[in-house]
Amino acid sequence: MTRRAGFIDLVLGIVTVLTFLCLYAPLAAVSALSFFQLVRLRGVMSFAPFSLEPYARLWVNDDILSALATTCFIGVVATALALVLGVLFAFYFVTARRSLGLLMQGLIFLPFLLPPIITGLALLIFFRQLDITRGILTIVVGHVVFIVPIVYRTVLVRLQILGKSLTEASLDLGASRWQTLWLVILPQLRPALIAGGLLAFSMSFDETLITLFLAGSESTLPIRLWGMMRVGFVPEINALATLILVFAAGITLAVGFMQQRAGNRAL
């Protein structure tokens, strides 16, 4: 057995390492270029010595910084709305008749399962028919529609683990429904809300394909980058990208470790 297993693991290992390199090469390249800029010396490309200049230039690039601020604002608002709605929908699923719960769940999962281009243009046409002009509001709605499923899912899994006994005990002991909700259930949901909220924010922060349809004159960072990419990038983009990557890695790792500690399989 060992010899055979050793061969299989060897093949799997080689594929895994190569895949890993392909996945991380683009990320590594961006980070490397933010510290060592490419320069052309007498027609030959070479790396400039280590410098933090792109980071300094990023700090004074108002165009990028304002897009960054808009993106964060939209992310925070969309995440807050998604948290409220995710909890509502999860409660609805565990309390309503099964068929109604499944209908609601099927609908809110749709934007997650369909290609983003469909969600984006559907909302674009919908807003146009309602005579709502594109702007921050339409972007927020688009993001909420896209990130609600992730919050809903994390909260629902947690609710189902909790079961009914806590609620019943609380009601038996004389707490009102609101007291049960605020003092018993919601504190138990906190890890799910934090994890779901962080994931939702990072998805909103990165959302591009839906936002492209819904952004008016106000645009988010990915849309601004997309626009800049067509004319060519400035070095500070590499610095910005590196910072975003570190930030996203931090969020994802934090959520991952939290979920693992809670023994909570949300995904």
Partner 1 sequence: MSARPLLLKAAWHGLNLGLPLLFVLAPILSFVLISFWTLDNGHIVTQFTLGNYLAFLGDDSYLSVYGGTVLLSLEVTVVNTVLASFVALFIFRRAARVRFLLLMAFVLPLFMSYIIKIYSIRGILGQRGLLNEGLMAIGLTGQPIEALLFSRTAIFLTLAIVYLPYAILPIYLALDRIPPNYLAASADLGGRTRDELLHIVAPLAMPGIVVAGVFTFVLTFGDFVTPQMVGGTEGFTFGRIVFSQFGLALNWPLGSAFAVILLGTALAAVAIAGLFLRKEHVR
Q: Which two tokens stand for residue 99?
A: 């068929």
Place of tokens 């980071």: 55
Question: In whole angstroms, how close is the CB of 44 to partner 1 at the nearest point?
Answer: 9
Minimum CB separation of residue 260 from partner 1 in Å reads 6
Based on CB atoms, which residue is closest to partner 1, 192 or 255? 255
Q: How far is the CB of 49 from partner 1 (least distance, A)?
A: 18
Distance, in Å, from the CA atom of 171 to the CA atom of 164, rounded to the nearest integer, reads 11
Comparison of 21 and 169: residue with beta carbon closer to partner 1: 21
What are the two backbone dihedrals, phi and then psi, of residue 215, each rounded to the nearest 5 degrees?
Answer: -80, 130
Shortest separation between residue 215's beta carbon and partner 1, angstroms: 12
- Tell me how crowded residue 187 is: count the other CB atoms within 10 A of its CB: 9
Residue 253: phi and psi, rounded to 5, are: -65, -45
Could you tell me the end-to-end alpha-carbon distance of the chain, in angstroms, rounded to an integer?
A: 34
Give which of 255, 234, 250 is closest to 61, Cα–Cα.
234
> CB of 159: closest distance to partner 1 in angstroms?
14
Q: Are 39 and 48 in contact (CB under 8 A)?
A: yes
- The conformation of residue 44, written as its DSSP 8-state character, comes to E
Minimal distance, residue 192 CB to partner 1, in Å: 18
Q: Report the residue number, 23 or 69, with the smaller CB distance to partner 1.
A: 23
Closer CB to partner 1, 108 or 193, in the complex? 108
Choose between 170 and 211: whose C-beta lies nearer to partner 1: 211
Nearer to partner 1, 2 or 165 (CB): 2
Which tokens belong to 190? 């906190």
**Residue bearing tokens 């997309």:** 226
